[in-house]
Structure 1
Amino acid sequence: MLAAPLSDRGIVHVSGDDARTFLHGLVTANVATMAPATPRFAALLTPQGKIVADFLVIEVPAEDGGGFLLDLPAALVDPLLAKLKLYKLRAKIAIEDRSAALAVLALWGGDPPAAAAIDGLVVRDPRLDALGFRAIVQAAAVAEAAEKLGARLVEPAAYEAHRIALGVPRGGVDFAYGDAFPHETDMDQLAGVDFKKGCYVGQEVVSRMQHRGTARTRVVPVAVDGFAPPPGAPVTAGEITVGTMGSAVEGRGLALLRLDRVGDALAAGTPLLAGGIALSPQKPAWARFAWPGETQAS
C-alpha cells in the first residue's frame, strides 16, 4: 500500500450536542444517518447552488471525543469557518480549525489498513472505492503512522496521478469554487449529493438540475497527445470554446467540458485542442450520465 501526505488539506472539527443536525441541515450529504465507519462526501453551497467548499465528513467515535472532522482544501478553511459561524446562530456547537494539529494521509493500492495500529482515524474514501482510504493522524507523526499502517510513504504527486487516472475532480484546479454546480463537478456521480434528504442550502437548484437533466457541463477525463496543457487552457473545437483544461499528468488529464458541444464536434470530425495539443474525452467507468453519442445514461 502507498501513503501520500496531503499537506494542501486542512481539518475543521464541528462538535457539540447539535453538530449532527447542524451539518445535516447545511450540506449536500446525509449526515443524520452517518456513523464513524460511514464517511460522507459533501459540499456547502451558495443559495444559488454553487459550491463554496467540498469536503469529506468523518465522524469521530464518541470514545475519542465525538463530533465531525471536515477534510477540505487548506485554502478554504478560513472561508468555511466564517460561513459555518454565520449559520451557527443558537446551535449548541463548537467549530475549530485543527489543521495545525492534524494531517491527512491518502492510502491506496493494497489491503485495507489496520486502523487500530495508529492514534488516528482511517476510513474508506466515500467518493470511489478505487481511491482507497483516508487517514487523519497527528501532524507530528505522519511517517510513523504510515509505517504502522504498513504503507510506503510517497510524494503527493503519486496520489495526484492516481486521482487523475480515476477521473475524480479536485476543486481549485479542475473547477473554480464559487462558480460550479455539484453536477458539473460530478458530485452527483461520486456520492456527494443525497437527493432523498431534506432541505439544505442550495437544494432547490440542485434538485431542479437533477430532475430536468440540465447539467451539460462536466469535469471528465481526457487522453492527451503528449505533454498536457496547463490548467486553465481553453479547450476548443475549431473556433468554438467547449471547455477548460484542468489537472493533468503526461498522457491524461481532466477537463471541464460542455458535453453537448463536444458531441457536435465529434460528430463533425472536428478535433478538440488545448494549447495546440489534441485531447480525446474519455467516459469514466463510474459515470452514469449520458455521453456524447449516447441516447441516455448507462
Structure 2
Amino acid sequence: MCYVAIRGAKKKRRKRHLIRKPYPLFLIVYTMGSLCLTRGAFTSSRCLGVYARKYTGPDLCVTFSPGVKSYTQDTGNRGDVPERFVCYNLHHRMLLKIQGQDTSPFLQGIITNDIGLLKEPGVRAIYSHMLNVQGRTLYDILLYSLKEDDAGQGVFLECDTTIKDSILRHLNMYKIRRKVNINPCPQLSVWAVFPNEEHTSKEKPSKPELSSPEKAFVWVADPRTQEMGWRLVSDSQVDPLDIVASCLKGDAEWYHRRRYAIGLPEGVKDLPPGVALPLESNLVYMHGISFSKGCYIGQELTARTHHTGVVRKRLMPVRMTSPVRELEEGALLQTQSGKPAGKHRVGVGELGLSLIRMEHAKEVLMLKSSDNHTVTLEASVPDWWPKDANIS
C-alpha cells in the first residue's frame, strides 16, 4: 500500500500565461515501513498505481512493496504474468460473406470439402480448395459458419488478398440464379493465435480464453492442423489484445516461417492457381476434401488419383544450407547424381516448400539459383502427416 501526501508552498498569484515553472512541493511517501520527507518539483507520472507527480528534486526515497505489478503499454503486457499466446495480423488474407438460402448447395458444387460439415455440432470451420475443370487448384479457402443466431444459411470465406477480384468472378460465374449474396468484408481482420513458445510447455496447449467474446466474429481452432493454432476474426478497429486474454502481438514473418517449418501451404505463392494439384499439395492431410459428398468442379481427376493410391510428388518442407535470394519460379531440384527430383516452390530465409518426387524425398538435394549459386537442401516429413504416409 502506498500513501502520498502533497503540499504546496504558498506563492503569490500570477497571470496564468506567465506561469512557467512548477510550484515547489513537499512529498511524504510511506510504503510498507519506509517513510521519506523531501522537497522538490514534480511533473505528471504514476506511483504504485496511485496518481501523483513525478519528483525532480533531491533526496527522494521510495521503497516499493513486494508483489507490485508493472504495466507496459507498448507490448500489451498485462502485469508481470507472462503472455501465454501471440497473435499475428494476417494482412495477406481477406474475408467474403456469402449469405442466402442457397448458400450450401451453391458452395457444395464448387469446393472440394463437404459444406454440410458446418452443420455438425462443434464444427465451425472447414478447409477446402476450389478447382478448375482440369482438377488443379485455383484457390485455397477457409470457411467459417456465421456467429449470429439469425444469420440463416451463410458463411465467412477466407482467401488470399491478391485474388479478391478473380475469386469474386469465379463465384458469380457459378452463382447463376441461386439466392445468395456475396460481399467483401474490408472492415474485418484475420488473426492467427499461437502459444507463446517462451512460456509454454511441450504439452498440447489449452485454447486461449476470451476476455471479450462478443467482439470476436470467429474464434475457432485452425481446421488444417492443431500446429496452426487458432483463427480469430474481428473488427479492424478492435485491438485483439482486448479480446484474447494473456496475449501479445507478433511479427507476421514468424507466422510464415512457422508454416514453412511444418510444411503447410497457404495462398497463391505456395499454391499457384492452375498449376498446383490438390493431392500433391496434401489436401487430404489438411482435412480439406470429401470423397463421398458427390460431384463438384474438378472432381473427376482428383477422385481417380485418390482411388489409384498413387501420388508421386508431394509438397514438403525443406531447409537449405543458406538462404537463396535470386530464385526463378519453379527452380529445378536435382539429386547429387544429377537426377531431376522436383521443383522448389517458395520460401523465407533458409526455410521453404518444394514439390519433391517421393523416391528422392530422403536424399540430399541440390538447388541452383539464377546467379549460378548452388545450395543443398533436405526435406522432412511433417509431424502432422499421418503415420502411414507413403514416403520411400
1:196 offset after TM fit, Å?
1.8
Cα distance change on mapping 1:40 and 1:14 into 2, 3 Å: same
Pick which of 271-280 and 88-97 moved more: 271-280
**Cα deviation digits, residues 44-73 of structure 1 (max 9, x gap):** 111111111110000103426351111110
Query: So what's the TM-score if we normalise by structure 2?
Result: 0.68
Tell me if the contact between 1:217 and 1:257 (Cα under 8 Å) persists in the aligned partners. Answer: yes
User: Would you say 1:241 and 2:350 are equivalent positions?
Assistant: no
2:222 paired with 1:136: no
Match of 1:184 in 2: 280
For each residue in 1:73-120, what CA deviation from the matched residue of structure 2 results, as whole angstroms up to 9, or x when unmatched? Answer: 01112111111111111111001111x211110111154233515242
Structure 1 vs Structure 2: percent identity of aligned residues? 26
Amino acid at match of 1:254: L
- The answer (yes or no) to whether the contact 1:117–1:149 under 8 Å persists in 2 is no
Counterpart contact for 1:228–1:248, Cα < 8 Å: no
Q: Which of 77, 88, 91 lines up with 2:164 in the alignment?
A: 77
Partner of 1:223: 319
User: Which residue in the other structure is 1:149 paired with?
Assistant: 244
Check whether the contact 2:94–2:189 (CA below 8 A) recurs between aligned residues.
Answer: yes
Aligned equivalent of 1:163? 259
1:113 equivalenced with 2:113 (yes/no)? no
Q: Following TM superposition, by how much is the alpha carbon of 1:166 offset from its aligned partner in structure 2, in angstroms?
A: 1.6
Instruction: Trace 1:42-61 onto structure 2 (pairs within 5 A).
Output: 42-61=128-147
The structural deviation recorded for 1:228 is 4.9
- 1:20 maps to amino acid: S
In structure 1, the residue matched to 2:222 is 125
What number of residue pairs does the alignment pair up?
Answer: 283
Compare 3-12 and 226-235 and name the one that shifted more: 226-235
SS in 2 for 1:34: helix
- Which TM-score applies when normalising by structure 1? 0.88
Q: 1: distance between equivalents of 2:271 and 2:355?
A: 7
Structure 2 distance, partners of 1:64, 1:105, is 25
- Supply the distance in 2 between the matched residues of 1:210 and 1:37 (Cα, whole angstroms): 25
CA contact (8 A) 2:144 2:155 kept: yes
Residues 1:193 and 2:299 aligned together: no
The residue type paired with residue 391 of structure 2 is: W
Which whole-Å deviations, capped at 9, do the CAs of 1:135-180 have from their partners, x for residues lacking one?
Answer: 1111222xx1234202211111111122122211123223311111
Task: State how 1:218-297 maps to structure 2 within 5 Å.
Answer: 218-228=314-324, 232=329, 233-237=331-335, 238-260=337-359, 262=360, 266=363, 271-275=364-368, 276-288=374-386, 289-292=389-392
- The separation in 2 between residues aligned to 1:167 and 1:38, in whole angstroms, is 24
Q: Is the 8 A contact 1:228 1:249 kept in 2?
A: no
Question: What's the Cα RMSD here?
Answer: 2.0
Task: Describe the SS at the equivalent of 2:227.
Answer: helix
Q: 1:40: which partner in 2? A: 126
Alpha-carbon contact 1:47-1:201 (below 8 Å) kept: yes
SS of 1:77 mapped into structure 2:
helix
Q: Secondary structure at the match of 2:142?
A: strand
Kindly indicate whether the alpha-carbon contact (under 8 Å) linking 1:236 and 1:274 is maintained by their aligned counterparts in 2: yes
The code of the aligned residue for 1:158 comes to W
Relative contact order, higher structure (CA 8 A, sep 6+): 1
Shift in Å at residue 121 of structure 1?
A: 1.3
Match in the other structure for 1:295: none
When Rg is computed on C-alpha atoms for both structures, the one with the higher figure is 2
Contact preservation (8 Å) 1:2, 1:153: yes
Measured in 2, the distance between the counterparts of 1:229 and 1:277 equals 11
Asked if 2 retains the 8 angstrom alpha-carbon contact of 1:20 and 1:32, the reply is: yes
8 Å CA contact 1:118, 1:149 repeated in 2:
no
Between the aligned partners of 1:152 and 1:83, the Cα distance in structure 2 is: 37
Higher helix share: 1
Query: What are the Cα deviations for residues 212-257 of structure 1, in whole angstroms up to 9, with x where unaligned?
Result: 1232121101232233566633222243332222333444322111
Task: Read off the aligned partner of 1:252 and give its amino acid letter.
Answer: L
